[in-house]
Amino acid sequence: MKKLPLHTKILIGLVLGLAFGIASIQLGWSAEFTVNYIKPIGTIFVKSLKMIAVPLILASLIIGVANIGDISKLSRMGGKTLMIFLITTVISTSIGLVLVNTFKPGKQLPLETRENLMSLYNSTAADKANVAAGIKSGTPLQPLIDIVPENIIAAATDNSAMLQVVFFAIIVGIALLQIPKKKGETVVKFFDGLNDVIIKLVEYIMIIAPYGVFALIASLIVEIAGDDPQKAWELLTALLWYSLTVIGGLFVMMLVVYPIMLKFFSKIKFLDFFKGMRPAMLLGFSTSSSSATLPVTMELVEKKLGVSEEVSSFVLPLGATINMNGTSLYQGVAAIFIAQALGLDLSIGSQIMIVLTATLAAVGSAGVPGAGMVMLVIVLESVGIPTAGIALIVAPDRILDMVRTMVNLTGDAAVAVVVAATEGELTHPKDLED
Ligand code: ASP
């Protein structure tokens, strides 16, 4: 296995995990074995990646901002980055809306299946609604209030409070730009060193990546199948059109929108971009977490795509927290699908409202598994679709989460390339051979 490139090893892990999962269902192997002895390898792998997410965001954003050198460059680059994040998110949600309105997957859901799903997942839908109620309780400006941490140490211990860590890191970076260079130097050097240590840790963690991915996929399949594989399969096929609409939209983002962005603003060929990003995309797919994949995304964007550390350490931690093209597309499709299945007609005004709220909800979704589905509640409520409708889309969500996470981080990488290219910070990709 040693000489194979990382993405091939991860791919082998993924395929073997898939094969193991399917074989264990077909041959009736005990699910307990997989859950007790295989899943933990995957859990250890994901935990080790998450372990370094907070220090990585802190260190890389602080030095990212501090290294930009002056406030005017920072505001230009920051403004540009946020603008591209916003535009790509609106585009992705709109693509989702066009597809779901064209193919109308919700109208094809048989009444009986709809009733089945509603009774089966009613409590899950209620849980999500409760979590979302906690998120949006308070004033309309609550999301703004939530960005500011009350206690940075507490925020740093909560992976879903990443936006607060981002906020803290950015203002510390700005402060470092404004205090005498001599004093700031030590702090910058410290975080610079910490950053290098974390990159080394990523290398260690990548040694177990193929085994981790194998375990994650094998246990996922066994868990989805549950006690009644036949029933799980029926539910998944009943929701096939919906799932295909989401996945189709996600592929439009990856194969049309990002290539156009790259062609327009940089000299990087899409194929090279894709080749360079393969390991991160596979990890995003296997872990369903853009925060956990961030260390790998950063390394590849710098080493394989030639984006300067200055740009990557600013754009990517921010992107992994707030730029989620895949999630917003999924939320748009899911909202309209639920409305269609429940026989609700949505006006153009409501559809525009969905684009707006899905864009905001995607910003608020943490880069962890399942976050997008919780924030979907807010999209549904904004246009008066019953939140219990979430019960209709729970079954395939874990699978769709994998694909949308892959798009989320690919989108971040594409924006990093565009920002770097327009800032003159893109060097020729060094090695694409792995
Ligand atoms: N799992 C996604 C991510 O980490 C968020 C989501 O649930 O859509 O990017």
pLDDT tens-place string over residues 117-170: 787 777 777 777 777 776 666 677 777 888 899 999 998 888 777 788 989 999
Could you tell me if residue 224 is inside a domain? yes
pLDDT, position 33: 85
For the Cβ of 293 lying below 6 angstroms from any atom of ligand 1, the answer is no
From ligand 1's centre to the CA of 293, what distance in Å?
A: 11
Q: Among the atoms of ligand 1, which is closest to the Cα of residue 373?
A: 7
From ligand 1's centre to the CA of 204, what distance in Å?
A: 25
pLDDT, position 2: 55
pLDDT, position 256: 97
Could you tell me if residue 157 is inside a domain? yes
CATH number reported for the structural domain that contains residue 55 in this entry: 1.10.3860.10
pLDDT, position 432: 46
pLDDT, position 434: 47
The rounded percent of the chain whose pLDDT value lies above 90 is: 54
What is the rounded distance in angstroms from the CA atom of residue 295 to the CA atom of residue 198?
Answer: 8
Could you tell me if residue 434 is inside a domain? no
From ligand 1's centre to the CA of 403, what distance in Å?
A: 9
pLDDT, position 376: 92
Structural domains counted in the chain: 1
For the Cβ of 404 lying below 6 angstroms from any atom of ligand 1, the answer is yes
Could you tell me if residue 210 is inside a domain? yes
What is the rounded distance in angstroms from the CA atom of residue 414 to the CA atom of residue 77?
Answer: 15
Q: Which residues contact 411 (CB under 8 A, 6 or more apart)?
A: 88, 92, 253, 258, 319, 323, 324, 325, 326
Could you read off the pLDDT tens digit of each residue along the chain, which spans 434 residues? 457 888 899 999 999 998 998 888 888 777 788 889 999 999 999 899 888 888 888 898 898 888 888 888 889 999 999 999 999 999 999 999 999 999 999 888 878 778 877 877 777 777 777 777 766 666 777 778 888 999 999 988 887 777 889 899 999 999 999 999 899 999 999 999 998 898 899 889 989 999 999 999 999 888 887 777 777 787 778 789 999 999 999 999 999 999 999 999 998 999 999 999 999 999 999 999 998 999 999 999 999 999 999 899 999 999 998 999 999 999 999 999 999 998 888 899 999 999 999 998 888 888 888 889 988 988 998 888 988 888 889 888 989 999 999 999 999 999 999 999 999 988 866 544 44
Overall pTM > 0.85: yes
The Cα angle at residue 242 between residues 349 and 113, in degrees rounded to 5: 105
Cβ burial, residue 93 (10 Å; 0-12/13-18/19+) = buried
pLDDT, position 143: 73
Could you tell me if residue 433 is inside a domain? no
For the Cβ of 324 lying below 6 angstroms from any atom of ligand 1, the answer is yes
Among protein residues, the one with the nearest Cα to ligand 1's atom 1 is 369
Query: Helices 39-68 and 162-178 meet at what angle, rounded to 10?
Result: 30
From ligand 1's centre to the CA of 133, what distance in Å?
A: 19
Could you tell me if residue 345 is inside a domain? yes
Could you tell me if residue 427 is inside a domain? no
Among protein residues, the one with the nearest Cα to ligand 1's atom 8 is 372
Domain carrying residue 366: 6-422
Could you tell me if residue 430 is inside a domain? no
pLDDT, position 54: 87
For the Cβ of 243 lying below 6 angstroms from any atom of ligand 1, the answer is no
From ligand 1's centre to the CA of 311, what distance in Å?
A: 23
From ligand 1's centre to the CA of 280, what distance in Å?
A: 14
The Cα angle at residue 27 between residues 394 and 213, in degrees rounded to 5: 55
